[in-house]
Amino acid sequence: MKRRALLTAVPALLCTPAVRAQQPFPNRAITIIVPFAAGGSSDAITRLIAEPMGRDLGQPVVVENAGGAGGTIGAARVANARADGHTLLMHHIGHATSATLYRRLPYSVTDSFAPLGLVSDAAMTLVARRDFPATDLAGYIAEIQRQGDRLNLAHAGIGAANHLCGLLLQQTVGTAMTPVAFRGGGPALTELVAGRVDVFCDQATSTAPFIRDGNVRGYAVTAPQRVAGLDLPTTAEAGRPGLVMSTWHGLYAPANTPLEVQERLSVALRAALRDERLRQRFAELVTEPVTEERATPAYHRRFLAEEIARWRPIIQAANEYAD
């Protein structure tokens, strides 16, 4: 009887939390939370990463969109998730700037997450309506300085990458324009094409087709290197080396995720970034996969701290906050 009772108890013991915790990671599907609506660049990049990461991990990697409040709702979900590596966050530059843009957050940008590695970089482009009276970046800046707040500067809401780029542009040239907020970069670009706003700064992913077709005027890319397929100089080449930014993405786990789990996820991320099909699709999105060195927890952690420090004085000087 004792032996029978012991054998009966074994299956139940195997289902206890303590035994489950000892199972190899991952032991079920992994969910990557994208804190923005489906269809945007963050969503596209995450879905491209998910499939090769899943192959390397041996478990499905699914993408869930949890948009709202500038990405803070989705980020809060991951901050409060079980720290076992099965719930992750894909966020862009807005994760770093939210540390200053939001004076009250339900989590700490640095302490509530474990950075796993950077994923991608996308150059921003300085553009204007097609009849804007400037032919190069020097003329573009001179016109901004001459007209000042008579010019409308489009953006997709406080904290969006194009909003941040606009802040950097204004502070670099020492002139404020009149901001006009839209419900997303798409509507802002539509109004620029129609000539109803004057100036915009957005990802090359979005603006490249319109620049090539002559529907908007492009002046420079804010990246260290030129963008393939766009006949535009970098801001450094055009004499404005301080006007540099990119829309970068990074992958995060909740804080206190075991170090061995963090490392396993980071290894899978780097394997995914070597995938040739992914690299081709990234090129179609006019975005670049990061180097292997940058797709590591140590580099990502340092970079996040640097970006927070870089953007804090820019945001504070503009006195523009999201709460």
**Average pLDDT for residues 192-217, to the nearest whole number?**
95
- 181, pLDDT greater than 70: yes
- 8, pLDDT greater than 60: no
Structure tokens at 134: 């400037």
Q: State residue 22's pLDDT score.
A: 61
How many structural domains is the chain composed of? 2
Quick check: is 15 in a domain? no
- 18, pLDDT greater than 70: no
Whole domain around residue 192: which residue ranges?
123-221
Quick check: is 240 in a domain? no
Q: What are phi and psi of 100, to 5 degrees?
A: -110, -40
- 5, pLDDT greater than 80: no
Percent of the chain with pLDDT over 90: 82
Question: DSSP of 229-298, one letter per residue?
Answer: T----BTTTTT-TT---EEEEEEEEETT--HHHHHHHHHHHHHHHT-HHHHHHHHHTT-EEPPTTTTSHH
**Where is the domain boundary, 184, 203, 221?**
221
Q: Please state which of the ranges 19-23, 64-68, 123-127 shows the lowest mean pLDDT.
A: 19-23
Q: What are phi and psi of 93, to 5 degrees?
A: -50, -25
116 lies in the same domain as 192: no
With a CB cutoff of 8 Å and minimum separation 6, the contacts of 228 are: 283
184 lies in the same domain as 117: no
**Average pLDDT for residues 164-182, to the nearest whole number?**
95
98 lies in the same domain as 111: yes
Question: What is the per-residue burial (b if ≥16 Cβ within 10 Å, else e) of 183-205?
Answer: ebbeebbebbbeeebbbbbbbbb
**Average pLDDT for residues 37-43, to the nearest whole number?**
88
What value, to the nearest 5°, has the Cα angle with vertex 235 and ends 300 and 291? 30
- 59, pLDDT greater than 70: yes
pLDDT tens-digit profile of 133-151? Answer: 999 999 999 999 999 999 9
Structure tokens at 45: 């990049």
Quick check: is 323 in a domain? no
Q: State residue 20's pLDDT score.
A: 47
CATH number at residue 217: 3.40.190.10
159 lies in the same domain as 306: no
- 13, pLDDT greater than 70: no
Q: Which amino acid is at 92?
A: H
CATH number at residue 100: 3.40.190.150
133 lies in the same domain as 107: no
Q: State residue 1's pLDDT score.
A: 47
Q: Give pTM, 2 decimals.
A: 0.88
pLDDT band of 194, cuts 50, 70, 90: very high
